[in-house]
Chains A and B, each alone.
Chain A
Amino acid sequence: MRRHDPGVRAPSADAARGPSIGDGQVLNLLAEWLPNQRWFAGGAAEAAAATVLQRATLLRTEAVSAELALIRIATATRDVTYQVMLGWRTVVAERLEHAVIGVSDALVCYDALQDEDITGVLMQTIADGSSIGPITAPGGAIDAPPDGWHGLAMTSEQSNTSIVFGNALIAKFFRRIEPGINPDAEMSAALSGRPYSAAYRGELRIVLDGAPTTLALVTHFIPNSADAWSTATVSVRDLLAEGDLHADEVGGDFAGEAFRLGGTIAQMHGDLAAVFGRFPSRDEEIDALLAGIERDAAALQTRLPEMTQLLPAVHRTCTQLGDDLAGARPTDQRIHGDLHLGQVLRTVDGWVVIDFEGEPAVPLAQRREPASPFKDIAGMLRSLDYAARYPLYMSTVDAQRAYRSDEWLARNRAAFLDGYAEVHGADPRDEPGLLTAFELAKAVYEVDYELRHRPGWVRIPLDAVRTLTAAQ
């Protein structure tokens, strides 16, 4: 068997020097490390072009030192800032080997978020409501655990890094930083105490480009959960395996869950409107949405010839929707903004909504603007469509399986909307134009996304574009 090294060792001792090591050396280390991080959007070229925006020492002892480093990557379209927590030690224990970034000037540099000694210091700052270097901790409501802070990094996270403390708290460190309060923190605080939301427990902030900016959000941790995508696809799989039973007859029926999920989302919308207010939509909002659909669909035809055939139908549909919705001033409000089945967790107490960050690709200021709740509803309906269709494409599509998939989608889509209508008091289906417009916009966006990232899945949103435009 492989014997473990005693640890990566740097030749001389005194970790306190770490934060004094030059920016250039730090950037050299990061140039190789960043492209391997899931949350880093660029490749080697972007990493090599990184600059240091700010470094701030958090901890400095002979054994270990730690600092916050804000790294800026200039791209053609806009600048992106990443949060990196650097730890420095003369030697790192085996448990931290996987976090090592590199060795520089006789010190081992590693990802400090993997080190409970350092994340514990940050958590204690929140518990004390104090500050550490330029990092402040407003609004914290946590107590130090009697046996100290023991953090475990979640392994499933894609775009951020989350640390769980004692199955009681979870601290999400945002990797991509924009100046301003992160909507995830803002919404968590606003919805704290609601049964469908993880209770807000505090934040770490820094002033960036003159604006208080969220570095990390701490909420109550919900153990024993599984996201709606997993639970929904279990149900689809159960139905697809049946020869003669219908969607309402199989054991794995999801409709009850979908109904309660719809009610949860309606409750969330009601609460968000109560906290942040309701606003009439802007004059051009619907027109811009419809124009965007046509523009984005047209832009796809060079990469996807099938889209060319669909363009007349898309145009016809958007024109019709424009007529139907002319003069309509639907209400806007703060919404989740990136709602899909992966953003809701089935817990032992029901559904819990997470990740209020909004679409990461959209600038932060825009993400905090009021928008139509139909955008969230459409997001969930599109996600149900994915759950119903994706198992089909995992093997050969046959008519029987496609029929079952349709059946599942119709049943659970209706159940979700029924649940939403029951809590909201009005049925989204009473606004068919809005529903279709937002679903179509989402589906066109998905076609683009799948072409870039998962070409094998492009049939799912493409079918949806076809269905949505054929219906009009």
Chain B
Amino acid sequence: MVDTDSPATPQAASRAALLPPDPGWYKRAVFYEVLVRAFADSNDDGTGDLRGLIGKLDYLAWLGVDCLWLPPFYQSPLRDGGYDIADFRAVLPEFGTLDDFVELIEAAHGHGIRVITDLVMNHTSDEHPWFQASRTDPVGPFGDFYVWSDTDAGYADARVIFVDTEPSNWTFDPVRGQYYWHRFFNHQPDLNYDNPAVGDAMIDVMRFWLDLGVDGFRLDAVPYLYEREGTNGENLPETHAFLRRCRAVVEAEYPHAVLLAEANQWPADVVEYFGDAAVGGDECHMCFHFPLMPRIFMASRRESRFPISEILAQTPPIPRSGQWGIFLRNHDELTLEMVSDEDRDYMWAEYAADPRMKANIGIRRRLAPLLNGDRKLQELFTALLLSLPGSPVLYYGDEIGMGDNIWLGDRDGVRTPMQWSPDRNGGFSRANPERLYLPAIMDPIYGYQATNVESQLGSSTSLLAWTRRMLQVRREHAEFATGALADLGGSNPSVFSFVRTAESADPTQSGIDDGTGYDPAHDAALAHRVLCVNNLSRFPQAVELDLRMFEGLTPVELTGGNPFPRIGELPYLLTLPGYGFYWFDLINEHVDEIAGGEQT
């Protein structure tokens, strides 16, 4: 096969050294999504770049991040934030070179930080040489790389995802005189996985980056790889078969690497992307848990735990090697695809009073403005993110409470420059402000003069300092990463309480217990548990928890180390301030002396 892409082996780039093997590292990692374009500009051209990011690794290591997720930085016409890739093996020149990329991996590994990159498997840019060859030479080697049809009538059961802009999943190409299939924008033709050469080519792309030292991929839009008549074109068996093939390559050749699936589906369908549980999972190591995030938002507005409890109860167990990826916000809009119509209307009404805040089927806000800048609520949300089952994925800037710009088009409102200092351009770039790829936020509350890393570094009570402290606490207790969850319920619907129990010393164990099968007697001998109690209401609450299964244990609050009264036969009374939460270690020791209790 003739390859029109860049050379298969990087010419100048060497290969970055890997971190020491650490099986299951992704289960314990805190991920940080960083847009290269938005983070730091090293050459004053107004656009962030790889060398700029290298310069900020000290900050990320200080914060306590374990793995960076880089959205696409490949050669692209940038009509979809880089998810329209024109060359899978080339770095977008404004971001730097392949050498810069290898240096980033090398430097990140030097900081103990892994790096995963976005890999778009479903489609390419229409500027990709494969597509150009396909449209001009239907019988050539790439003629069958895309899904072509003489009519636009096929696969009518597949929904249109970008309902704002795309009338159909078919677009007519006047050059070839046929329609091509695209699940996303019409400038992003879908690859034709029924052609085995396409799968081979994409696996070679994976090898190319893994050979350079990356630690895995976030696989973009995986449910849509295949099309079949009479189906909605999502989650097809052929798609799963291809993912098994990818996993087998990783296991055999790159055992350090992780595959993280973006499958915006209900949990029962998403679980399929972990693969066969009997062999511990043979597709993706991780999948994003999409419905959890909108449910957290709903729960706080309804002051009721049930939106969260329900979705956790509906979440099936996952294979042994699997781990959820959970997040509050990311570079896309707040996704409302995975909520019911009723819930979606509700979310829109609650969180997007201005129609400009609505994009596609989601809401384009950052965390802080979405929560009206309420610091207590931001802390509660972050505490939930860090304590619910799954590896948390932070979005750049949310650690300082950055704002958004709803007047920017599409999803750019949440992709503005990182705010490092009160200096020009928020310290992001020394370019003239007019040259910036997007204007920095300058409003009085979220603007870089008020909200920036430098000022928060100087304050021990800042959101940044708080976030870092919570990441430290989480790291000290493996139960947060891999413990099974038991929802404790309770008579106060505004209080969401749960226990995370590390079943054994084996860090590869994890799962979600829906509570119905939870048997405290089995739990009695287990050593490591954390108890999390969250007040979803803005008002102070008292809650009486039935903790008798932990009778005799002492809750020790994790941020301050203070022991609370020992758990006895009676309901355990806790009072929480509005949006307050507690994290407790449950320890089997008498700590009266520490507490300064009266001695007899």
Contacts and interface: CB of A to CB of B under 8 A. Distances in A.
Interface of A: 1-3, 95, 98, 145, 147-148, 150, 152, 155-156, 166-168, 223-227, 230-231, 234-235, 237-238, 241, 249, 251-253, 256, 346, 348-349
- Give the contact-size bracket for chain B: 35 or more
Interface string B509-543: 00000111111111000000000000001110000
A223 B546 contact: no
B374 interface: no
Given A155-B571, A167-B515, A167-B516, 7 more contacts: A155-B546, A224-B487, A231-B493, A234-B303, A241-B539, A252-B302, A348-B306
Nearest to B306: A346
B302 A224 contact: no
B522 A98 contact: no
A166 B551 CA distance: 15
B492 interface: yes
Given A167-B518, A252-B302, A348-B306, A230 B491 contact: yes
B3 interface: no
Interface in B545-600: 546, 548-549, 551, 569-571, 592, 597-600
A154 to B, nearest CB: 8
Nearest to B538: A241
B489 A223 contact: yes
| Most B CB within 10 A of own CB, among A145, A226, A235, A252 | A226
B158 interface: no
A198 to B, nearest CB: 12
A226 B546 contact: no
A147 B303 CA distance: 38
Contacts of B424: none
B569 A227 contact: no
Contact of A251 (B350, B490, B597): B350
B interface, over-half SS: loop
23 contacts: A1-B597, A1-B600, A145-B521, A148-B521, A150-B521, A152-B546, A155-B570, A155-B571, A166-B519, A166-B521, A167-B516, A223-B516, A224-B487, A224-B489, A226-B493, A230-B492, A231-B493, A234-B493, A237-B303, A251-B301, A348-B310, A348-B313, A349-B310
A226 B299 CA distance: 14
A346 B303 CA distance: 14
Given A226-B493, A230-B492, A251-B302, A237 B539 contact: yes
Given A95-B569, A226-B490, A234 B515 contact: no
B425 interface: no
B309 interface: yes
A150 B551 CA distance: 14
Interface of B: 300-304, 306, 309-310, 313-314, 342, 349-350, 487-494, 514-522, 537-539, 546, 548-549, 551, 569-571, 592, 597-600
Contact of B303 (A148, A152, A252, A348): A252
B522 A227 contact: no
Given A147-B521, A155-B570, A241-B539, A224 B493 contact: no
Contact of B494 (A2, A148, A155, A234): A234
A95 to B, nearest CB: 7
Contacts of B551: 95
Given A230-B491, A348-B310, A1 B303 contact: no
Q: Which 10 A-B residue pairings sit nearest by Cβ, starting from the closest?
A: A251-B301, A224-B489, A226-B493, A348-B313, A348-B310, A231-B493, A223-B515, A348-B309, A224-B515, A166-B519
Question: Which of B487, B492, B516 has the most C-beta atoms of chain A within 10 angstroms of its own C-beta?
Answer: B516
Contacts of B598: 1
A224 B520 CA distance: 14
Most central of B304, B549, B597 by chain A CB within 10 Å: B304
Contact of B301 (A3, A147, A241, A252): A252
Name the residue in B310, B488, B570 with the highest tally of chain A Cβ atoms < 10 Å from its Cβ.
B310
A5 to B, nearest CB: 13
Contact of B489 (A155, A225, A234, A235): A225
B258 to A, nearest CB: 31
A3 B488 CA distance: 30
A2 B600 contact: yes
Nearest to B541: A234
Contact of A1 (B491, B492, B521, B599): B599
Most B CB within 10 A of own CB, among A2, A223, A346: A223
Contacts of B548: 152
B50 to A, nearest CB: 42
A238 B309 CA distance: 20
A129 to B, nearest CB: 24
A98 B548 CA distance: 14
Contact of A227 (B314, B491, B520): B491
A238 B541 CA distance: 13
Contacts of B570: 155
Contacts of A2: 600
Nearest to B593: A1
Contacts of A3: 600
A240 B517 CA distance: 38
Contacts of B515: 167, 223-224, 348
Contacts of B300: 251
Which of A3, A237, A348 has the largest number of chain B CB atoms within 10 A?
Answer: A348
A226 B519 contact: no
Given A95-B569, A155-B571, A234 B537 contact: yes
A168 B538 CA distance: 33
B303 A256 contact: no
Nearest to B551: A95
A155 B571 CA distance: 7
A252 B539 CA distance: 13
Which of the listed residues B514, B519, B549, B599 has the most CB atoms from chain A within 10 Å of its own CB? B519
Contact of A224 (B301, B309, B549, B569): B309
Contacts of A98: 569
A98 B488 CA distance: 24
A349 B521 CA distance: 25
B493 A230 contact: yes
A145 B519 CA distance: 10
Contacts of A234: 303-304, 493-494, 537
Contacts of A346: 306, 493
A285 to B, nearest CB: 37
A98 B569 CA distance: 9
Contacts of A238: 303, 537
A361 B491 CA distance: 26
A453 to B, nearest CB: 21
A256 B492 CA distance: 19
B347 to A, nearest CB: 10
A299 B496 CA distance: 46
Contacts of B493: 226, 230-231, 234, 346
Contacts of B597: 1
A226 B488 CA distance: 11
A147 B522 contact: yes
B539 to A, nearest CB: 7
Contacts of A348: 306, 309-310, 313-314, 514-515
Contacts of B537: 234, 238
Contacts of A241: 538-539
Contact of B342 (A150, A223, A237, A256): A256
A150 B548 CA distance: 12
A3 B600 CA distance: 8
